[in-house]
Every structure is written in C-alpha cells, then in structure tokens.
Amino acid sequence: MGWTSLIPMAGDEVGYHAPGVQSFHYTDPGWTFFAQGSWLNTWINKSTLQALIAAILVIVFWLVASRKLKIVPTKGQFFSEYVYDFVRNGIARDILGPDYRRYTGYLVGLFSFLLINNWFGETFIFMYPTFSNIGYAYALAIMTWVIYIGAGIARHGFGKFMKKSLLPPGVPPYLWILIIPLEFLSNFITRPITLALRLFANLFAGHLVVLVFVVGGWFLMTYPSQSAATEMNLGYNIAGVISIVFSFAILALELFIGALQAYIFTVLTAQYVHSSLADDH
C-alpha cells in the first residue's frame, strides 16, 4: 500500500479526473444537428447555444417590457422599470451626465446580456457560465473598446482625441517620451484586456471551484465505487457530503459574483465612454 492511497484523488488514474481547463470545453456535444466534424458542428457547442439563448431572452424580455408601458406601472412593468432604471439612472446618468441617453441602449443590453449569461452558471440545465469562455469576454471588451474610442473621436475629432488621450495637460515636454507610450498602453491596450480578463477570470475560477466541490465531493461520497480501490472509507464519504453541501454556498456566492461582474463591466464601459467624452483629461 503506497502513500497515494491516503490521498483518494491523487494517482488514481481509473476514477477521478480533476476538473481543469478541459472541463470548459464542449467542442463536441455528442449530439449533432450537422455532420460530425463539420465547422458548424464544432461551432455550435454548449457555450454558443447558451449565448444564443441568453441573447434571445434579453431581446424578448426587453421587447415585451417596452410594449405597453403605462405611466402608472403594473407589477411586471415595475420590475422591468427597476432593471432599466438601475442601468439608466444608476450607471448611465450618474457617470455620463447629460450624454447618457445615447449610450443607455448599449449599457442596458450589455448589463442584461452579461447578467443572464453569468447566472446560467447557477441555473439548472445550463450550469455553465458562458463568459468562462474568454472568447465571449474578448468580444464584449472589443465592442466596448470600439464604442468608447468611437465616442471620443465623434466628440473631439481624431487628432484632438488622440492628443487628449495620450497627453494629459500640464506634462512638461521632457516627460512626453515617457507619458505618451504609457497613456497609450493604459487607454488603448490595457483597458479592454483587463475588462475581458476580469470578467473571464471571475467566472472561470468560480465555476472551477464549484466543479471541484461537486465532482470531488461526488467522488468522495461514492468512494470507492468510482475508484480502483476496493476498501470502504467512511471518513471520505462524510467529507464528500460536506463538500457537496458546501458547493451550494459556493453557488450562492457565484450568483452574487455573476451580478457583480455584470455591474462592474457595465460601469467601467460607462466610465471609459465618459473619459473619452470629457473635455479635460
């Protein structure tokens, strides 16, 4: 009996597969609409379907909500108004001031799309946050990037916007060589990357933690049925139950983090647009 038998999850090649990056890849869902191996079949995977469903949900929700708006709100309208106001007043108007109207559409859509996709990580059937695939996070970050740069150029013209973005007022000329690359890096490169990474990493890590507790907990709870080992171990089974129970707390935390990340992404988008529109740096 080697030392590895004390650690049920290590060196057990038969039963336990530790959750990892490969847990996020659903390239081949196992069922196919399209020919196996065709590009459509590899494209349409779980995350794509989730993104599609989320987009449909967002669009349907807002179209239904905006259909018969009453001055005195009904119960349903009260809810949709609450969400709309949360973004419109709490984010767009607070940060953008009088320019908020133009960007409210993007911010409302962005927030609701992010929120639904993030909460898919804790929803039955889905149980998988779409944005734990960094491709989607990059997509939204690039859109925000285009929007805030476009807003700046539309407001100030290309030359003035670049000067404003790259050269804060009051910098002495001998520091220009230092400041201009730094400002370029921070305003045009780091911003979208940090946006995407923050979103992705939070959801990726959160989902990974949930997987560890659930997969590991299940393995321990049913030990040794999934293992090469044969002897019973009550301690492992109890630890497995505790781990499964604890995973519910982690799921609740993930709900909160999902909402928080949707909020942060939206707030930062508004913030970047504001800094592009602002007259002084």
Partner 1 sequence: MLVTLASSPAELLGPLWPHQWSEFIVGVVLMLIIWIVVAKKVVPAFEKMYAERSDQIAGGIERAEKAQAEAEASKQEYQQLLAEARQEAAKIREDAKNEGARIKSDMREQAEADAARIVAQAHAQVEAERSQVVHQLRNEVGGMALTLSGRIVGESLDNDDRARRTVDRFLSELESQGSVHS
Residue 163 is a binding residue for partner 1 (CB under 8 A): no
CB of 98 to partner 1, least distance (A): 14
CB of 202 to partner 1, least distance (A): 13
CB of 19 to partner 1, least distance (A): 13
The Cα–Cα gap between 189 and 149 comes to 12
Q: 50-89 mask for partner 1 (x: CB under 8 A)?
A: -xx-xx--xx--xx-xxx-xxx---------x--x---x-
Residue 45 is a binding residue for partner 1 (CB under 8 A): yes
Q: Interaction with partner 1 in 6-25: which residues (CB under 8 A)? A: 21, 24-25
3-state secondary structure the chain: CCHHHHCCCCCCCCCCCCCCHHHHCCCCCCCCCCCCCCHHHHHCCHHHHHHHHHHHHHHHHHHHHCCCCCCCCCHHHHHHHHHHHHHHHHHHHHHHHHHHHHHHHHHHHHHHHHHHHHHHHHCCCCCCCHHHCHHHHHHHHHHHHHHHHHHHHHHHCHHHHHHHHHCCCCCCHHHHHHHHHHHHHHHHHHHHHHHHHHHHHHHHHHHHHHHHHHHHHHHHHCCCCCCCCCCCCHHHHHHHHHHHHHHHHHHHHHHHHHHHHHHHHHHHHHHHHHHHHCCCC
Residue from 32, 42, 186, 190 touching partner 1 (CB under 8 A): that is 42
Residue 36 is a binding residue for partner 1 (CB under 8 A): no
CB of 145 to partner 1, least distance (A): 11
Residue from 18, 134, 209, 244 touching partner 1 (CB under 8 A): that is 134
Sign of the torsion formed by the C-alpha atoms of 235, 236, 237 and 241: positive
CB of 280 to partner 1, least distance (A): 28
Residue 105 is a binding residue for partner 1 (CB under 8 A): yes
> Using CB atoms within 10 A of its CB, is residue 184 exposed (0-12), middle (13-18) or buried (19+)?
middle
CB of 92 to partner 1, least distance (A): 10
- Identity of the residue, 62 or 218, whose beta carbon is nearer to partner 1 in the bound complex: 62
Residue 275 is a binding residue for partner 1 (CB under 8 A): no
Of 42, 24, 22, nearest in space to 32 by CA: 42
Stretch that binds partner 1, among 127-135, 161-169, 184-192, 263-271 (CB under 8 A): 127-135
Residue from 10, 74, 82, 142 touching partner 1 (CB under 8 A): that is 142
Residue 48 is a binding residue for partner 1 (CB under 8 A): yes
Residue 209 is a binding residue for partner 1 (CB under 8 A): no
Name the residues that contact partner 1, by CB under 8 A: 21, 24-25, 27, 42-43, 45, 47-48, 51-52, 54-55, 58-59, 62-63, 65-67, 69-71, 81, 84, 88, 101, 104-106, 108-110, 112-113, 133-140, 142-143, 197, 200, 204
